[in-house]
Structure 1
Amino acid sequence: MSVVISGVSVLIPGADGAKALAAGPEPGAGPVEPAALVGKKGLRYKDRATQLGYCLTSAALADAGLLGEDAMAVGGDIGVVVSSNYGNLDTVVRALDTLREGTVTATSPMDLPNASSNVIASSAAIRYGLRGPNLMVCNGATSGLDAVNWAVTMITAGRVDRVLVVGVEPDNDVVRRLLGGRHAVDGGAAVVLEDAGAARARGATVRAVLGRYVRTAGVGAVLERLAASGAPAPARWQLPDATPAGVGADLLPGVERAALPEHSGRGSGALGVLQCATAVGLFDEGGWGPVFAVCGTDEDDASAGLVLLAPPAPEAV
């Protein structure tokens, strides 16, 4: 069974689409304003990661032709997998500070529901009528690509025909303290994954085809397994977060290397989905693949990789 990408959205400072992301986010751009994109209604009492998740969900569903005029998903049997490592960290810290300094009665009844780690995924499903399986992945450096793999697993297992995958990370004082003063991407990307036959049946445009996913210790081992998957030699290698210059220079010699620019901040749980969206942007511009997306350096608990292939000719989908 083939799984394809049929919709994509990108929302980070300096890049509001897949092509802009592939070209490189503009430096110096201001923060994203969710109210300007999805309206103010329903944003009050929602943490920033959830607000950004709303924006990404709406735009990805619309891009895939799955958002109705009532701003609800068409044929709501759509799964949701969200990846975020820092998503509601500020809410959790605020609640814990309140408990430490006072009593449980001092906590906000509007704030505490946001302390659940799955708040982004569940909130997006409720707002847009996504009634399929719902998962939240907070899995460190590999989280974004792991989320994509969970979505593929749902589809190939026959649970659903399509799954929305969102990778989002907010930027705030709590996150910066955790990152030692560095900032997070304050946004992310979303992709709609779909069974190729289901996409063909509804006349959807295929933006990319997913190839092999691997997860193991070490970037070199991941690249070896991706190369052994039967895919052609890669045209581009999307690097893990914060890869120091020169590291891995002996890996995939001659292959173009690309990374989220330093000024965009740490991608973390959003990175793998941003990498998928970048590949779509390249393919939309007529670029060719495969693209190898890799998350997690040798210093992390694990590394993960995914092969993304350019879409076939329409008659071949």
Structure 2
Amino acid sequence: MRSHAYPGVVVTGTGVILPGADRPEAVTAGRGEHAEPVDPTRTLGRGGRPRGLRYKDRATQLAYCAADAALTDAGLLTDGDLTVPSHTVGVVVSSNTGNLDTVVRVVDTLRAGTTDALSPMDLPKVSCNVVASSVAIKYGLRGPNLMICNGTTSGLDAVRWAATMLETGRLTRAVVLGVEPDTAPTRTLLNGAPPLDGAVALVVEDTASATARGARVLARVGGHARGTGIAECVAALSAVNPTPPVAWQVPGRTVPEEVLPGVPRNDLTTAWGPGSGALGVLQCVAAVGAFATGATGAIYATAGDDDHDATAGLVLTPPSDSR
């Protein structure tokens, strides 16, 4: 089990693009009974018809919306223009099924025995990093660009990679996105269950840079752990955060009762359905919402349970925590 503390990384912005939820405080409540699917055209319209959506897959469109919201919330984007040098902002995106519908469509066309029917608009979207690269191009973000697609731990791993790049000086700030679309191939993988069909985002930044530009701090990244099993992961998180957590974002319903007994548990997969690669980022955004509504202690987020090949964990602490 590996763990690492990140004392100099803070969250300065969030973006929530979910059916019936558009702010961190609303994430825990889950999808409303009559919530309409997110319409990226309306979300990005700004009073007119947004450009650049026509040939983009749904995952990319949703990611555009979340990135726009998070960058704006962090004060890094004003009227569509960056307020900081473009090379200081990186992009890390987590999604396991983001472009799956495009891949399936192209494979089905090839399997039919012809290349003539392939769309030239589809071919660039077959690459698994299309969401991250598209966000970077749209907003002119010239820092390091990563797409993480490694299963259930993917979302928290994305936050870890962004924090690591901040700690090592590769970046000053990054937008971290988790996105999973509702498409026919995704539902097939989930045996018909509706996926998240939305995107969430965090802007993480090194403390010195956030202070220098007068940014509002929404949360602090206390540490990360990754290895096999929930119990070991939680123990590793406790090693980098000796104070017991006030809440725990659990990876699902199958969590051992003997781990962190008495700590309130929050299962976002019950609220939103299978989160897959977006779950870890969603958990972090929910923690920001908890701090905004008065939570005063550390919150643990974990993704990947004992039935998977790995478990990842993250500690988030309130803005007032100076550790």
TM-score by length of 1: 0.95
Determine whether 1:2 maps to 2:8.
Answer: yes
In the aligned structure 1, how far is the partner of 2:102 from the partner of 2:144? 25
Instruction: Spell out, residue by residue over 1:217-272, the C-alpha distance to the aligned partner (whole angstroms, 9 max, x if none).
Output: 000110111112233100000010x424xx41111111000011535221110010
Distance 1:206 1:231, change over 3 A: farther
Which AA in structure 1 matches 2:97? Y
Among candidates 16, 35, 43, match of residue 37 of structure 1: 43
Match of 2:306, SS state, is coil
Determine whether 1:125 maps to 2:125.
Answer: no
1:216, 1:302 within 8 Å by CA — same for their partners in 2? yes
1:243, 1:297 within 8 Å by CA — same for their partners in 2? no
Q: CA deviation at 1:13?
A: 1.3
Among candidates 186, 189, 204, match of residue 178 of structure 1: 189
Q: CA deviation at 1:163?
A: 0.7
The aligned counterpart of 2:3 is none
Match of 1:200, SS state, is helix
The aligned counterpart of 2:116 is 105
TM-score by length of 2: 0.93
2:269, 2:275 within 8 Å by CA — same for their partners in 1? no
5 Å-filtered alignment, 1:30-179, equals 30-39=36-45, 40-72=50-82, 74-77=84-87, 78-179=89-190
Q: CA deviation at 1:71?
A: 4.3
Distance 1:119 1:37, change over 3 A: same
Instruction: Spell out, residue by residue over 1:98-119, the C-alpha distance to the aligned partner (whole angstroms, 9 max, x if none).
Output: 0010322320001111111000
2:18, 2:197 within 8 Å by CA — same for their partners in 1? yes
Q: CA deviation at 1:188?
A: 2.3
Which AA in structure 1 matches 2:25? K
Match of 2:186, SS state, is helix
Q: Percent identity among equivalent residues?
A: 54
Q: CA deviation at 1:281?
A: 0.4
The aligned counterpart of 1:251 is 259
The aligned counterpart of 2:20 is 14
Instruction: Spell out, residue by residue over 1:121-154, the C-alpha distance to the aligned partner (whole angstroms, 9 max, x if none).
Output: 0000000010100000001000000000000111
Match of 1:105, SS state, is coil
The aligned counterpart of 1:216 is 227
Match of 2:179, SS state, is strand
Segment drifting more, 277-286 vs 14-23: 14-23
In the aligned structure 2, how far is the partner of 1:93 from the partner of 1:70? 34
Which AA in structure 1 matches 2:288? V
Among candidates 188, 198, 213, match of residue 209 of structure 2: 198
Which AA in structure 1 matches 2:182? D
5 Å-filtered alignment, 1:218-237, equals 218-237=229-248
Match of 1:102, SS state, is coil
Distance 1:297 1:73, change over 3 A: farther
In the aligned structure 2, how far is the partner of 1:25 from the partner of 1:290? 25
Distance 1:73 1:95, change over 3 A: farther
2:175, 2:202 within 8 Å by CA — same for their partners in 1? yes
Determine whether 1:308 maps to 2:319.
Answer: no
CA RMSD for the aligned pairs?
1.5
Q: Which runs of 5+ in 2 are unaligned?
A: 1-6
Match of 2:86, SS state, is coil
2:30, 2:271 within 8 Å by CA — same for their partners in 1? no
Which AA in structure 2 matches 1:99? L
Determine whether 1:274 maps to 2:282.
Answer: yes
In the aligned structure 1, how far is the partner of 2:291 from the partner of 2:242? 16
Which AA in structure 2 matches 1:26? G
Among candidates 284, 287, 299, match of residue 291 of structure 1: 299
In the aligned structure 2, how far is the partner of 1:100 from the partner of 1:23? 43
1:24, 1:261 within 8 Å by CA — same for their partners in 2? no
In the aligned structure 2, how far is the partner of 1:128 from the partner of 1:2? 26
In the aligned structure 1, how far is the partner of 2:188 from the partner of 2:167? 40
Segment drifting more, 47-56 vs 7-16: 7-16
Q: CA deviation at 1:157?
A: 0.8
Count of equivalent residues = 312
Match of 1:22, SS state, is coil
